[in-house]
Amino acid sequence: MEIAALLDLTVDAVKGHLARGRARLREINAQAGPVADARPASAAVARYVALFNQRDWDSLRALLADDVKLIQSTYPLRVGRADVGMFFTIYDKFEGLWFAPAWLEGREVIAVLADRADPKPSYIMWLEWRDGRISFIRDTRYARYVVADAELALAPDVKPADGAAH
């Protein structure tokens, strides 16, 4: 409804545009070549994933830049280490989530699985780094359509290095 109001369209018109867009993406994906093999995860993403899977929230907070930004589709922009640090407190309430390094169209992302045994991620997250610290997080938990038809390639298992960022 918000998009319809913003664009001065009916809800049905917005749904129609989304359906046509998704259909076009499926056509494009069908014509595309095979998904490239996954590359190994960067040391920084491997470390982030390992810390998340260990639920080591304090170590994750320590990776945040002072001016870090977090975007989640249904929430206002969070800015700063303290505000974005609350993000991990929220994730502490979700049992069973498992992170895995992955690649999507050449971009290193984090695949979020509802359970470690799930064959397909529920959604993705991506990070940007500056001087060895996380400067930006985009979490698509509330915009799961982002990966609905996406072909993610999970990175091969890697051991995280001690915090080197790309």
- Judged by DSSP in three states, 37 sits in coil
Q: What is the pLDDT of residue 38?
A: 67
70 within 8 A of 78, measured Cβ to Cβ: yes
> Cα–Cα distance between 81 and 67 in angstroms, integer?
6
Asked if residue 157 has pLDDT above 80, the reply is no
Based on the domain organization, do 39 and 3 belong to the same domain? Answer: no
Determine the average pLDDT of the residues in 27-47. 73
Pair 59, 121 in one domain: yes
Domain identity same for 71 and 134: yes
Find tokens 């780094």 and name the residue: 129
Same-domain pairing of 112 and 81 = yes
In contact, 122 and 154? CB cutoff 8 Å: no
In this structure, the answer to whether residues 9 and 39 fall within a common structural domain is no
Q: HSE (CB half, 13 Å, CA atoms) of 116?
A: 7
Q: Report the Cα 144 to chain-centroid distance in Å.
A: 10
CATH code, domain with 136: 3.10.450.50
Q: Provide, rounded to the nearest whole percent, the portion of the chain with pLDDT above 90.
A: 40
Pair (28, 17) in one structural domain: yes
Which H or E element spans position 2? helix 2-7
Say yes or no: 105 and 127 in one domain: yes
Are 120 and 140 in a shared domain? yes
pLDDT, average across residues 112-116? 87
Same domain? 110 vs 143: yes
Q: Are residues 28 and 44 in the same domain?
A: no
Residue 13 domain-assigned (yes or no): yes
Question: Between residues 2 and 42, which one has the greater pLDDT?
Answer: 42
Does residue 152 have a pLDDT over 80? no
Pick from 28-32, 64-68, 99-103, 117-121 the range whose average pLDDT is largest. Answer: 64-68
Question: Which residue range is the domain that position 143 belongs to?
Answer: 35-154
158/90: higher pLDDT = 90
- pLDDT tens-digit readout, 53-109: 999 999 999 999 999 999 998 889 999 999 999 988 888 888 889 999 999 888 899
Q: Is residue 125 within 8 Å of 109, Cβ to Cβ? A: yes
Eight-class DSSP state of 142: T
159 falls within a domain: no
Give residue-wise pLDDT tens across range 10-23: 888 878 877 887 77
Q: Specify burial of residue 159 (Cβ count, 10 A radius: 0-12, 13-18, 19+).
A: exposed
Question: What mean pLDDT comes out for the span 31-39?
Answer: 59
150, part of any domain? yes
What is the count of structural domains for the chain?
A: 2
- Residue 52 sits in the same domain as residue 13: no
pTM beyond cutoff 0.85: no
Report yes or no on 163 lying in a domain.
no
If pLDDT is split at 50, 70 and 90, which confidence band does 153 have?
confident
27 and 41 belong to one structural domain: no
